Amino acid sequence: MRSDVGHRIGRWQALCRGQHIVTPTVGVDLTALTLGPGVSPCQPVSVACQGGVSGPAQTRRMTADLVIEAEGLVKTFGKTRALQGVDLAVPRGTVLGVLGPNGAGKTTAVRILSTLLAPDGGTARISGFDVVRDAERVRQSIGLTGQYASVDEDLTGRQNLELFGTLLELGRAGARRRAAELLDWFDLTDAANRQAKTYSGGMRRRLDLAASLVGSPDVIFLDEPTTGLDPAKREDMWDVVRSLVNNGSTVLLTTQYLEEADALADAITVIDHGRVIAHDTPEGLKRVVGGQTLEVRPSDPAQLPRTAEILTQVGSGAQADEIRKGVLAVPVTDDAALTESVARFATAGIAVTELSLHLPSLDEVFFTLTGRTASEDDTTTRPTEVAA
């Protein structure tokens, strides 16, 4: 199998050199290298090869400390406008969460930013380099993990990572060393010498993310990276993302898991029908719904009626509702409601086992902005975006 790996590397390098590509985009599908006669090995990754330098490179332009910049991105597939003037801005060393229902344009935006798709309008820059005119320079600094695993299933986990390391010109020893580091980091060492086709879905996602990190990129695009993972593995992936940012990387993360964006993102952009409809910090977006909610669980369920009366008095005029068995909630206008409710419960002799004051959830924000929850399938999903 070693000779097979070497053959695939040689074909890829020859192909990319012939089209003036120094560094392939990490994360694109390498399975084309196993296709039969008459099929171009670059076909599934043709955009990566089309990005060769065809003219003089643009002068690097960078706004303040923004690493990812997009202004007025437009992309049309037939009669469908997948992007309709999208603006994005990501400062260095931060995580931007991009939220939106299926078909909103999230993946299309990521593919443009990672040089895999040319925009029909607008501009985008990564670390000051234009994604169209300076695509080669952009590819040298980015890693991409798409919605679907891009590793070669016929190779082992170790061989996949060493393949990427060789393509990125780390040298044989360097590729082996980097592969070993990533296998250990992603808890894949025990499975390193197994073919990727024998991996579970979660293991493949981890291997895919590891492959995008072989070149230690400054900018990382994660397109729904935890889809299909169980909660424990999702938490592990979150820890990886936090470590990347702590080490200085900048991350753009698309997700439909609201708790994921809440846990990881410094700022969130919400896209719907190809347009940015909101951008703020997680806390700022939660205030879009308005106010806070005070929740209480009295120790004695018999005290629920009296507890509801007190909550209604300290609330913003709304009646307290039982949101789940034994727990009451009421909207409040400010933090003072918490202190006042504690005093009133003490005076009334009502003991409580739960008492909390919190902002609306991101799911509530998402519903307010788009009219549907993030888990709902959009019946108008654009098939072209799924392919894109």
The pLDDT-based confidence of 200 (bands split at 50, 70, 90) is confident
DSSP lists the bridge partners of residue 280 as 268
Position 45 scores a pLDDT of 33
Position 137 scores a pLDDT of 92
Q: Tell whether pTM > 0.85.
A: no
For the chain, domains (ranges, CATH) are: 292-358 (3.30.70.2030)
Position 175 scores a pLDDT of 94
Q: Is 39 helix (H, G, I), strand (E, B) or coil?
A: coil
Q: Which residue has the higher pLDDT, 300 or 380?
A: 300
Q: Report pLDDT digits (tens) over 162-186.
A: 999 998 889 999 999 999 999 998 8
Tokens 């005093």, residue?
343
DSSP secondary structure letters along 97-124: EEE--TTSSHHHHHHHHTTSS--SEEEE
Exposure string (b/e) for 108-141, b if CB count within 10 Å is 16 or more? bbbbbbbbbbebeebebbbbbbbbbbbbbbbbbb
**Average pLDDT of the segment spanning 51-65:** 48
Q: Report pLDDT digits (tens) over 96-123.
A: 999 888 888 999 999 999 999 999 999 9
Least confident range from 124-138, 256-270, 318-332, 353-367: namely 353-367
Q: Report pLDDT digits (tens) over 153-162.
A: 999 999 999 9
Position 364 scores a pLDDT of 75
Q: What are the structure tokens assigned to 15, written together?
A: 């192909």
Q: Report pLDDT digits (tens) over 30-40.
A: 443 333 333 33
User: How far apart are alpha carbons 197 and 211 in whole angstroms?
Assistant: 16
User: How far apart are alpha carbons 337 and 183 in whole angstroms?
Assistant: 51
Q: Which of 49, 63, 209, 40 is nearest to 139 (CA)?
A: 49
**Average pLDDT of the segment spanning 302-316:** 90
